[in-house]
Copies of this chain bind each other. A is one copy, B any other.
Amino acid sequence: MKDIIQKLDNLAEETAGKLEWLAEFGKDPEGGVSRLLYTNEWVEGQHALKEWMENEGLEARFDDIGNLYGTLTGKNTNETVLTGSHVDTVKNGGRFDGAYGIVAGIIALKYLKKHFGQPLRNIEVVSMAEEEGSRFPYAFWGSKNIVGLAKREDVKDITDFDGIPFVEAMSKAGFKFKADDTAKREDLKAFVEIHVEQGSVLETEQIPVAVVYSIVGQRRFTVEITGEANHAGTTPMGYRKDTVYAASQMIFELISMAREEGDPLVATVGKIEAEPNIVNVVPGKAIFTIDVRHTNKEILVNFTEKMTERMKEISKEHGVETVIDMWMDADPVPMDATIVQLIENQFKQNGLNYKLMHSGAGHDSQIFAPVVPTAMLFVPSLKGISHNPAEFTEPADLAEGVKALIGALYELGYKE
């Protein structure tokens, strides 16, 4: 196994080349890729992938809503090991996010077939219809259909930015709702997704591949502070209800608290606005967002509660009114410990310089994990850039990822 994998010499070139090829479907004139759900570019891309799967000797098929599967049929066809990722991109996105998981999966299955023949269980690669939520206000459409969580009620009345209804776009692309939208695949024994990190940890630490033990939980807040707009010249400091002053203390303290808490906790104030936002007026209103993430639910909850308490104290000290609205509360999603261990063991056997890490971003794996034993692999992202035409991973790292995936699928698909 180890010997064969190490002999796959052209893997870097082959993987990078296939990603270039796939990026032609939805290529933006100014660089980047826009391949949004059920668009012409998306339809052409999926059909091209189907043809490629067939050329590699996989049995290819679409499901009702447009997830594309390529199967290496096993001796026991009741059990399937699934790999893959999403084929859609954000608007003007990159060549790697999602696409890498599909391309790596097809290449992995090709070499598994070539060197090891028929597996014990089905091994399948999926090119999922949608994950990003970039065309319609709905994310994870692909994976949610596979595990029976997608409800037609949620999408039947939504439209895209041009007013085109979801149902019309789906129909035009050649797909329709499943007969029973709560039906889920019962044959799935494991899901392994490989993805670019979308962060700079692996690049900075010069590690080619990681296995993910958890996807972070997220809590997002909007904080709205109301004070009093006043003349910046004629209002003495003691007379003010200065919302930007109150906000500055809250933000400074909450981010300092997050730094003290330590990894993997992250807290971000990404958006801030003042009203009336004029140089010579004491701002009567300040609004900012907070995004807090951690892999451990208890720590996430405790931190955000402590943070909220402190913000209320600061608000009182400043004599302003503060409304803290938590509008997202997603629990962390741990990966399957057995599969993670299996992958780690393999890395150790191969003497590979790997990292056990968490994912700070959301992925299809978080939809699978509560239902199917799931794990993820990461390869480095240049400077952590993602959702951007500059998204890049070195071909050598792409190849290391494919090798790791081959190893994982071999363990899961060929062994008892």
Contact = CB atoms under 8 A, between A and B. Distances in A.
Interface of A: 197-201, 204, 216, 218, 220, 230-239, 242, 244-245, 247-252, 255, 258-259, 262-274, 277-283, 286, 289, 291, 293, 359-362, 384, 386
29 contacts: A197-B234, A198-B233, A199-B231, A199-B233, A199-B235, A199-B239, A200-B235, A204-B239, A218-B233, A232-B266, A232-B268, A232-B270, A232-B293, A234-B359, A235-B360, A236-B263, A236-B264, A236-B360, A237-B258, A237-B259, A238-B263, A244-B272, A245-B269, A248-B248, A268-B281, A270-B282, A270-B283, A272-B273, A272-B274
A379 to B, nearest CB: 13
Contacts of A247: 248
A220 B289 CA distance: 28
Interface centre among A237, A252, A268, A293 (most CB of B within 10 A): A268
Interface centre among A251, A266, A293 (most CB of B within 10 A): A266
Contacts of A273: 272-273, 277
B252 A245 contact: yes
A384 B245 contact: no
A250 B248 CA distance: 8
Contact of A255 (B238, B248, B264): B248
A384 B235 contact: yes
Given A199-B235, A236-B263, A248-B248, A280 B291 contact: yes
A136 B251 CA distance: 39
A386 B286 CA distance: 21
Contacts of A258: 237
Nearest to A197: B234
The SS class assigned to the A binding surface is: mixed
Given A200-B239, A239-B201, A269 B291 contact: no
A270 B277 CA distance: 6
Contacts of A262: 237
A128 to B, nearest CB: 20
Given A255-B242, A255-B248, A360-B234, A282 B263 contact: no
B231 A360 contact: yes
A247 B222 CA distance: 19
Contact of A199 (B234, B252, B384): B234
A232 to B, nearest CB: 4
A291 B279 contact: yes
Nearest to A239: B200
Q: Lowest 8 CB-CB distances: which A-B pairs, in order?
A: A199-B234, A233-B360, A248-B251, A232-B268, A234-B360, A248-B252, A279-B289, A233-B361
Nearest to A200: B239
A231 B232 CA distance: 36
Contacts of A359: 233-234
A219 B236 CA distance: 16
A78 B250 CA distance: 62
